[in-house]
Amino acid sequence: MTQTRGYALITGASAGIGAAFARELAARGHPLVLSARRVERLESLAQSLREAHRIDIQIIPADLAERDAPRLLCEEVARRGLGVDLLVNNAGYGVTGYFLSQPWQVQADFIQVLMTAPTELCHRLLPAMRERGHGRIINVASLAGHVPGSAGQTLYAGAKSYLIKLSQALHLEYGPDGVNTCALCPGFTYTEFHDVTGSRAMMSKLPKWLWMDAQTVVRQGLRAVDRGEAVHINGRVNRMIKSLLKLMPDRLALALMGRQSRRIRKKKPD
């Protein structure tokens, strides 16, 4: 990515994997467009990276749960004359609780942020990449997209699976034009994700060998998209989990996931 002269647009850049992408790309001299809802965090991150690496960093706050946000984000990028050659669709979160325990608007916002918004950003930014004959798209998916759905986060696995399939299709369609698309699929990663979902205490009991740090995930993702990988699962353990579940009969894999869900989320459905 160090040869690229355009900007990297990172959504959900205020924390976690998004912030790790910003730090890694800034260290490589890549100018950045950082977007998220939390403006104060974006400004703090941008200022520290400017001082450390002396690169241009633009901030465009956006709440991707708003239906017009992807369009307005791209229009502001164009208004500022910022050519984007790397799109990192990272914005995301988890909705805890069973499907009916949350109002429909909460579920609709989740679909908008994790599925509709990244798809629209790809659609709006891909034409210029294709015209230049060079571009990179990383859709941050998850190991969850490769395994059966679980109780307690009803839409999460489905949304991540969608990003994987979207990335594969875009890879086949526009890879020949010089635009590589990769679905990055980390497993358990040290970020604040589990603090937000209220599952930190439970997750801290898991063995350390299941976990990866965000910076390693990011570096592997950047290498994968440059190599032209349509899907990259981070870590040997995660690749082994995916392979084992794929070999199992669907009924058995689903039963195992159900058992694990009951261990993690003891609350009964509403």
Maximum Cα–Cα distance for the chain, whole Å? 54
**Catalytic position from the list 156, 162, 174, 190:** 156
Element (H, E) at 226: helix 214-227
Q: How far apart are CA 178 and CA 2, in angstroms?
A: 16
| Angle between helix 16-27 and helix 39-53 axes, rounded to 10 deg | 20
Annotated catalytic, 93? no
Element (H, E) at 174: helix 156-174
DSSP per-residue letters across 16-72 = HHHHHHHHHHHHTT--EEEE-S-HHHHHHHHHHHHHHH---EEE----TTSTTHHHH
Question: Strand, coil or helix: what is 213?
Answer: strand
If 0-12 CB within 10 Å is exposed, 13-18 middle and 19+ buried, where does residue 100 land?
A: exposed
Q: How far apart are CA 54 and CA 49, in angstroms?
A: 7
Q: Which residues of 176-215 are buried (b: 16+ CB within 10 A; e: fewer)?
A: eeebbbbbbbbbbbbbebbeebebeeeeeeeeeeebbebb
| Active site residue ranges | 156
